[in-house]
A and B are shown apart, each in its own frame.
Chain A
Amino acid sequence: MEQKKYWQSFGEFNNSEAYNQAVKDEFQEELPFESQTGLLETTSPRRDFLKYLGFSTAAAAVAASCEMPVKKAIPFANKPEDIVPGIANYYATTYVQDGEAVSVIAKVRDGRPIKIEGNDLCPLTKGGTSARVQASVLDLYDTARLRFPTIAGKEVTYEAIDKSIADAINSLGGAPIVVLTSSVVSPSTKEVIGQFLAKHPGSKHVTYDAISYNAITLANEIAYGKKAIPSYRFDNAKMIVSLSADFLGTWISPVEFTKQYAKGKRINEKQPEMSKHFHFESVASLTGSNADERFLHRPSEAGVVAVALLNAVNGQAITNITDEALKTGITKAAKALLASKGEALVVAGTNDVNVQLVVNAINEAIQSNGKTIDWSALYTLGQGSDADFAQLLDDMNAGKVGGLFVLGANPVYTWSDSAKVVAALGKVKLTVSFSGKLDETSKLIKYVLPNHHYLESWGDAEIKTGYYSLLQPTIYPLFKTRQWQDSLLKWSGATTDYLAFLKGFWSTKLGSEAAWDKALQDGVIVPAAATIGSAAYNASALSNAVSTIASAKKVTGIELQLYQKIGIGAGQSATNPWLQEMPDPISKATWDNYLIVSPAMAKTLLNIDLTNGGQADAYEVQPPKHVVEISVNGKSVKLPTLIIPGTHPSTVGIAVGYGRNAELGKSAVSDEGTPLGANVYPFASLSGKVVSFDVANVTLKDTGDTYKVALTQTHNVYNTSQGNRTEVMKELTLGEYKHNPLEIRAEREAELAPYGGIENFEKQGTIYPVYDRPGIKWGMSIDLNSCTGCGACVVACNAENNIPVVGKPEVLRGHEMHWLRIDRYYSGEDLNNPKVVFQPLMCQHCDNAPCENVCPVAATNHSSEGLNQMTYNRCIGTRYCANNCPYKVRRFNWADYTGADSFPNNQADVLNNVVLDMNDDLTRMVLNPDVTVRSRGVIEKCSFCVQRLQAGKLNAKKESRILEDSDVKVACQQACPSDAIVFGNANSTKSAITAHRKDNPNRLFLSLEQIHVLPNVTYLAKVRNIEEEGAHGHKQTHEGAAEHHTEATHH
């Protein structure tokens, strides 16, 4: 049988050659080892690519665009004539708080004040401000402000309350009415009070200030016949001796004094001369920290020290001083004072009449009267009389007072015997308070008619004799408040309101309404020619004062000194979140008061030895601090303890102003409702006619508990176990500087020698080409000699740049958002009394910025004008830039601090009440509309106030001229009371910054210069006016002789 042929394909059927070949080849197709076509020739599906791209983009967009809350902006129905949206108006007015008056300019945007600047026309403060002045605008929008008048806590109308008070006055049956105020600086108000008192015979005006300057006024009354505080002229003093007077921080008129003091501290490099400041104190203060030489003594020794100084000035021997260092200090100070007769000034902060009498005698001996002490212009603050108030309390308790009208004073909180005040209030039939907030006293008062905030008020202030500053409202009153002068006028039966009264008062005084308008516009009225006046001195009481001091019993135990914090003052600012979150210049603590002890006492009391590296580290890195119970005369408080060098080993200090009631606002209390800190006014005492804040016989007991204190800086020396980080911070003494003016420059040359020295460093420090930087190049220069570390710039920056408040729990976790901070370092070898130096630090706007090249999405980059810019909506929050910033100035939004986040309802669970309160619609009115409110998850940092730079450039452009220095002022620069910050176009030959750098080549340095980040912020080294010990002092700070201290702190 023929074999059947089965075939699978025609190829096989035909037995073709091709088929046979195919059968032989196992791999019939070409093996895909090599690409047959080039990449470009492929039939790549471009449409598919675009399709997928489109889809994925759309999908990503849908996924990423969560719904944002819609917020509507409603335009004016009728636009007010003088309000142009987006254009700010500026009004001159005056910050007034309990006698302190600072002439200011309020920036008003779209009808709401958002920023306070100093008034350049005021010859006293010359545009300077303080942290508290800067922060005062936030008080306007405080949610805890009283919003309407109340009778016994119930809302009423003004008609009703006026009637009811009139009835109450009538029913007093002639019992006297007392108007109780803090120092009233307004001349027109004094007249209003006078009218009111005249209308109600037997009535009187009692002035009571929480912080009493009675000793000074009383001593001056005895010695000069004038019960007042004269003007001190630190600018005329080449030699300043301060006995515990914190004149740069809280004493009398710190903004004015800082301005004057800085003038003496600024040096001309070619002829280096500067004022010299000796400071004697018990608890580390801002002023003591700025002193050229500081000496420590017990608070009870204030008199002895003053007498010793007087004796030394008079060429007598120093007795009664056993501490050798102190004795040397007094001798030196006396010698220096005598050498600068007529150009020297001694001030004392102790509220003790005898001490002030002795100080008067010293000032006479060194011929200050009429030269550095000006008797022609007297302060209006400090009128309060402790004795009058004590008398008033007795009268009230005796039922002799029918009515009490209170403004400014808060004795239930500030008087040492609070219970007595409470009892006395209970005995007064008619109590009226004008407090804007429900403070401790107002809580106990029946009629409360909240006063306007100063930014809503008309008024005037006589800062000093002849120096007037006017108030005008910058916003329509937010609430149903009424200016208290209006109330008084009404109750006096006057028909005019206070505005008409004020206008009349000043038009008469100035001669015309036009003059009044001009004065209102300027904000100030200044005396035509200011001359320094003297007063006749009467030494009769001196010997008695000296012998009283000599016979005083010597205190041996631990002593306590109560002091005011720069931010909080007597407690008025305890409700201001910006100030609570501003790190105290000395302790760097926020949100609390605490017990300050010296390192020596820490060793005995807490068993913490800061010279032991491990213990120092543990103290530093762990926020919980020992809680100590402080007992005096049966009263006691428990407070956490901070170790602050510069405090006398037997003295402890506590700030007043804490332990407030919850009605004052969220910032006064913790989230649990317990007060932040403790009230220590009860420790003060009335001794003789004045209140004393120095307390003897203090018992301290370590409770074994701990309490977390929110510190923003924990490590305090730049000298480390591996070397002194002098690249961070440079300081030297005047002696050294005179000996070798090129010292700092030589140090820099040595550091940069491997890269060709200072001149070639920019080029040789990198492998990349160096570019020209034409046009504007923004730069800043900070004179560490002028900077006192007061913190005004920190708060100014907060206000200008919408920097969120994060609250104590967040500060504790290192989440504070300040763009500008002031680093405080200790140096020198005396751990208990070190030298202190302050360094304001903000983004350095490096030309070779390490933050810029690490951002994966280019959210931070360099502008052609030298700014290191931050693009918030590009930032994805990797924090790489913050890590790579050698200055650690970048701040991350760890949570939704501002409510600007796209996720709703994510604040309440994780942020404290203060932050939520800052997000209230009312509080948010303070935000600067020119600055983006940052959302959660992005990095932010100093922008050199780019919004101001843009506005300045625009102005110059509109006027077709080249930008000038006056066009741009950054917020910190403008706020600085000591003019330590110079800012401008460093490429311009005419700018102040160029001059500042050119004129100070020897002290100029850049922090961390050697790492070649090329900062645009330069510093001028701190020079201390120490002549004789120069060489030694130098050695210890710069050449590692301070190893002793270093080792001590680290190993």
Chain B
Amino acid sequence: MHLKYESQLREPLVSGNKNYHQVTEDIVGPIEAKPTKLWYIGFYIAVALLMFGVYSVYREVTYGIGQWNLNKTIGWGWDITNFVWWVGIGHAGTLISAILLLFRQGWRTGVNRAAEAMTIFAVMCAGQFPIFHMGRVWMAFFVLPYPNSRGPLWVNFNSPLLWDVFAISTYFTVSLLFWYSGLIPDFATVRDRAKTKLRKRLYGTAAFGWTGSTKHWQRHESLSLVLAGLSTPLVLSVHTIVSFDFATSVIPGWHTTIFPPYFVAGAIFSGFAMVQSLMIIVRKVFNLQDYVTLGHIEAMNKVIVLTGSIVGIAYLTELFMGWYSQNKYEGYTFWYSRAYLFSPYGWSYWGMMACNVLSPQIFWSRKMRRNLFVTFFMSVIVNIGMWFERFVIIVTSLYRDYLPSSWSVYYSPSTYEIGFYLGTFGLFFTCFFLFAKYFPTIAIAEIKYVLKTTGDNYKEDMSKVEKMKVDEFVHEYAH
């Protein structure tokens, strides 16, 4: 699936003169070795956070949503902010694996596995919020349209929340399948190298009897293409549908037609930032710098500056429309509740602007794009900014909407509200640590696939060829 010829001008996607065996060693090695101390520390912190999250959710389920500081005016706060934030993060994985696959972007191979894993874990985290934000979570199954004995009761297909149910569950299913189908050949590799019975058995089961026959590969490739085809519209649809939660409402600040593209761009923006945060750590910790090169980092930074600018334009468009519509309610939300720095939540809007629009502009500089420290720092800033964006959309629209009589007092989260959010971090990192330890974090098979066309060896071989005069080349390769 890759161009046979790659220009010398392009950086190698895999550096360090690797051969196939080295690739396997580098990637499977950490799985077979004992985890490091650092891994244990990180893992236990993640589990501790997860436990706190579980306790927070227990409080909320037992005592009620009143454990959070939402009120009669602000019905959604941190819960849905976090939901949209996590779903957004979950976008990069699919984008990288599906859209870049279809676009034949070779550089995706270095990061797609981890990005997909991140997607799945992020969607798992995201899913917690719409489920546990329900006042009666034990009745959550009411949102599933299945034949039931409760009379002619059916779900409401008009509700964007129901669309969410379908969008998120479809997205999760397809992403999981895609991720898992990519993992099968690599599991087989781990299985084949396994020295213990248990390991052989577990990875053997996970590998579904993969033998590496041409037929397996043929089917694998076909399945990948099909799933990529399925995922591609999902990348666009999921966040579009999430944005419908707001766009189809009547609340000033929510009722906005620009939301679908703006949300998708924002999702890719935050997703790539999260991939950056994770991969910069993973490549360092597992010594995978040769596979996730500065070239990869730079490519993703380019996506970040592009999508960051798209959301910036969206923000400015909203402000413009707030004025141009001459709608006093929209005007108030956009120009007072948000853009006026000294209004109660003005700080969150300008926090968002600074993090999402202004700071990524630093990536117009190649030097900055290739600076690991700056990239890592920026990736965190972008995710903070994107969290603010969702907070701004949800809270600053709700807290002062139509009737001034119902305007809310200042909303800040309760301990358990924060705890739930931290808990999803716990869930995410617990999963990610387990993934990093037990799963091949880089798609071995796919790296091997591009190695020949883009690896250092190839580049070296080809550089000789490049330097040849035409006569020499003809002479050399004529027969």
Q: Give residues in A with beta carbon < 8 Å to B.
A: 26-27, 31-33, 53, 57, 60, 63-64, 66, 613-614, 617-618, 620-623, 711, 713-718, 720-725, 728, 810, 813-816, 821, 823-825, 839, 841, 850, 853-858, 874-880, 882-884, 886-888, 890-896, 901-903, 906, 909-910, 935-939, 1007-1008, 1011, 1013, 1050-1051
The answer to the question of B410 belonging to the interface, with a C-beta cut-off of 8 Å to chain A, is yes
Do A895 and B135 have beta carbons less than 8 Å apart?
no
Cβ–Cβ < 8 Å partners of A724 in chain B:
328
Do A1008 and B64 have beta carbons less than 8 Å apart?
no
Do A1050 and B406 have beta carbons less than 8 Å apart?
no
Residues of chain B in range 366-414 having any CB-CB distance to chain A below 8 Å:
398, 400-410
Do B146 and A888 have beta carbons less than 8 Å apart?
no
Do B403 and A853 have beta carbons less than 8 Å apart?
no
Contact string, B135-175, partner A, CB cutoff 8 A, digits 1/0? 11111111100111000011110111110010000000000
Closest 5 A/B residue pairs (Cβ): A877-B135, A937-B135, A814-B71, A723-B328, A894-B66
Residues of chain B in range 231-246 having any CB-CB distance to chain A below 8 Å:
245
Do A728 and B404 have beta carbons less than 8 Å apart?
yes
Cβ–Cβ < 8 Å partners of B335 in chain A:
721-722
Q: How far is the CA of A854 from the CA of B148 in the complex (A)?
A: 22
Do B138 and A26 have beta carbons less than 8 Å apart?
no
Which one of B180-188, B336-344, B352-360 contacts A?
B336-344
The answer to the question of B465 belonging to the interface, with a C-beta cut-off of 8 Å to chain A, is no
Cβ–Cβ < 8 Å partners of A896 in chain B:
63-64
Do A895 and B63 have beta carbons less than 8 Å apart?
yes
Do A910 and B138 have beta carbons less than 8 Å apart?
no
Q: Give residues in B with beta carbon < 8 Å to A.
A: 62-67, 69-76, 130, 133-143, 146-148, 153-156, 158-162, 165, 214-215, 218-219, 222, 245, 248-251, 328-329, 331-332, 335-336, 340, 342-344, 398, 400-410
A-B contact pairs, 16 of them (CB 8 A): A617-B342, A715-B407, A721-B332, A722-B332, A722-B336, A723-B331, A814-B408, A814-B409, A853-B159, A857-B142, A857-B156, A877-B65, A886-B402, A892-B135, A906-B64, A935-B136
Task: Give which listed residue, B138, B162, B250, B403, contacts A884 with CB less than 8 A.
Answer: B250
Majority DSSP secondary structure for residues of A touching B: loop
Candidate in B133, B248, B344, B405 with the most chain A CB atoms within 10 angstroms: B405
A842–chain B nearest beta-carbon distance, Å: 13
B227–chain A nearest beta-carbon distance, Å: 15
With A33-B222, A856-B159, A1050-B336 as contacts: A728 and B143 at CB distance below 8 Å: no
Q: How far is the CA of A1007 from the CA of B402 in the complex (A)?
A: 10
Q: Which chain A residue has the least Cβ–Cβ distance from B342?
A: A614
**Seed contacts A853-B158, A886-B250; 17 additional CB < 8 Å A-B pairs:** A64-B139, A66-B138, A614-B342, A617-B343, A617-B344, A620-B409, A720-B328, A722-B328, A824-B405, A850-B249, A854-B160, A856-B162, A857-B143, A883-B251, A910-B67, A936-B64, A1008-B402
Do A880 and B342 have beta carbons less than 8 Å apart?
no
Q: Which chain A residue has the least Cβ–Cβ distance from B334?
A: A722
Q: How far is the CA of A715 from the CA of B402 in the complex (A)?
A: 12
Q: How far is the CA of A676 from the CA of B436 in the complex (A)?
A: 58
Cβ–Cβ < 8 Å partners of A714 in chain B:
407-409
Do A888 and B403 have beta carbons less than 8 Å apart?
yes
With A722-B332, A857-B142, A878-B133 as contacts: A815 and B71 at CB distance below 8 Å: yes
Q: How far is the CA of A874 from the CA of B134 in the complex (A)?
A: 12
Candidate in A621, A883, A1008 with the most chain B CB atoms within 10 angstroms: A883
Cβ–Cβ < 8 Å partners of B400 in chain A:
715
Candidate in B71, B74, B342, B344 with the most chain A CB atoms within 10 angstroms: B71
Task: Give which listed residue, A57, A810, A821, A825, contacts B404 with CB less than 8 A.
Answer: A825
Task: Give which listed residue, B161, B248, B343, contacts A878 with CB less than 8 A.
Answer: B161
A1043–chain B nearest beta-carbon distance, Å: 13
A752–chain B nearest beta-carbon distance, Å: 14
With A853-B158, A854-B160 as contacts: A886 and B140 at CB distance below 8 Å: no
Cβ–Cβ < 8 Å partners of A824 in chain B:
405
Cβ–Cβ < 8 Å partners of B407 in chain A:
620, 714-715
With A937-B65, A1013-B250 as contacts: A722 and B331 at CB distance below 8 Å: yes
With A874-B142, A883-B251, A886-B251 as contacts: A895 and B159 at CB distance below 8 Å: no
Cβ–Cβ < 8 Å partners of A64 in chain B:
138-139, 141
A78–chain B nearest beta-carbon distance, Å: 39
With A33-B222, A853-B159, A937-B135 as contacts: A716 and B404 at CB distance below 8 Å: yes
Q: How far is the CA of A384 from the CA of B222 in the complex (A)?
A: 96
Cβ–Cβ < 8 Å partners of B130 in chain A:
878
Q: How far is the CA of A938 from the CA of B153 in the complex (A)?
A: 18
Do B71 and A910 have beta carbons less than 8 Å apart?
no
Cβ–Cβ < 8 Å partners of A821 in chain B:
405
Task: Give which listed residue, B72, B146, B155, B343, contacts A814 with CB less than 8 A.
Answer: B72
A281–chain B nearest beta-carbon distance, Å: 24
B130–chain A nearest beta-carbon distance, Å: 8
Cβ–Cβ < 8 Å partners of B139 in chain A:
64, 876
Do A877 and B251 have beta carbons less than 8 Å apart?
no
Do A879 and B76 have beta carbons less than 8 Å apart?
yes
Q: Which chain A residue has the least Cβ–Cβ distance from B67?
A: A910
Cβ–Cβ < 8 Å partners of A855 in chain B:
156, 159, 161
Cβ–Cβ < 8 Å partners of A721 in chain B:
332, 335-336
Do B63 and A815 have beta carbons less than 8 Å apart?
no
Do B134 and A937 have beta carbons less than 8 Å apart?
yes
Candidate in B155, B222, B332, B404 with the most chain A CB atoms within 10 angstroms: B404
B341–chain A nearest beta-carbon distance, Å: 10
B215–chain A nearest beta-carbon distance, Å: 6
Do A841 and B405 have beta carbons less than 8 Å apart?
yes
Q: Which chain B residue has the least Cβ–Cβ distance from A1051?
A: B340
Task: Give which listed residue, B332, B405, B410, contacts A825 with CB less than 8 A.
Answer: B405
A265–chain B nearest beta-carbon distance, Å: 22
Cβ–Cβ < 8 Å partners of B161 in chain A:
854-856, 878, 880
With A853-B159, A858-B155, A892-B75 as contacts: A938 and B136 at CB distance below 8 Å: yes
Do A718 and B155 have beta carbons less than 8 Å apart?
no
Do B214 and A26 have beta carbons less than 8 Å apart?
yes
Q: How far is the CA of A620 from the CA of B219 in the complex (A)?
A: 65
A715–chain B nearest beta-carbon distance, Å: 4
Do A854 and B140 have beta carbons less than 8 Å apart?
no
Cβ–Cβ < 8 Å partners of B140 in chain A:
876
Q: Which chain B residue has the least Cβ–Cβ distance from A877?
A: B135
Cβ–Cβ < 8 Å partners of A909 in chain B:
63
With A714-B407, A856-B156, A894-B66 as contacts: A1011 and B344 at CB distance below 8 Å: no
Do B65 and A725 have beta carbons less than 8 Å apart?
no
Q: How far is the CA of A949 from the CA of B138 in the complex (A)?
A: 33
Do A713 and B405 have beta carbons less than 8 Å apart?
yes
Cβ–Cβ < 8 Å partners of B222 in chain A:
33
Q: How far is the CA of A419 from the CA of B405 in the complex (A)?
A: 44
Q: How far is the CA of A875 from the CA of B142 in the complex (A)?
A: 9
Q: How far is the CA of A935 from the CA of B138 in the complex (A)?
A: 13
Q: How far is the CA of A32 from the CA of B74 in the complex (A)?
A: 53
Cβ–Cβ < 8 Å partners of A617 in chain B:
342-344
Task: Give which listed residue, A621, A823, A910, contacts B408 with CB less than 8 A.
Answer: A621
Q: Which chain A residue has the least Cβ–Cβ distance from B326?
A: A723
A1048–chain B nearest beta-carbon distance, Å: 14
B127–chain A nearest beta-carbon distance, Å: 14
Do B328 and A910 have beta carbons less than 8 Å apart?
no
Task: Give which listed residue, A874, A879, A883, A895, contacts B66 with CB less than 8 A.
Answer: A895
A177–chain B nearest beta-carbon distance, Å: 54
Do B405 and A892 have beta carbons less than 8 Å apart?
no
Do B67 and A883 have beta carbons less than 8 Å apart?
no
Do B410 and A850 have beta carbons less than 8 Å apart?
no
A640–chain B nearest beta-carbon distance, Å: 15
Q: How far is the CA of A711 from the CA of B335 in the complex (A)?
A: 27
Cβ–Cβ < 8 Å partners of A891 in chain B:
72
Do A910 and B64 have beta carbons less than 8 Å apart?
yes
Do B250 and A856 have beta carbons less than 8 Å apart?
no
Do B62 and A850 have beta carbons less than 8 Å apart?
no
Do B154 and A858 have beta carbons less than 8 Å apart?
yes
Candidate in A713, A714, A724, A810 with the most chain B CB atoms within 10 angstroms: A714
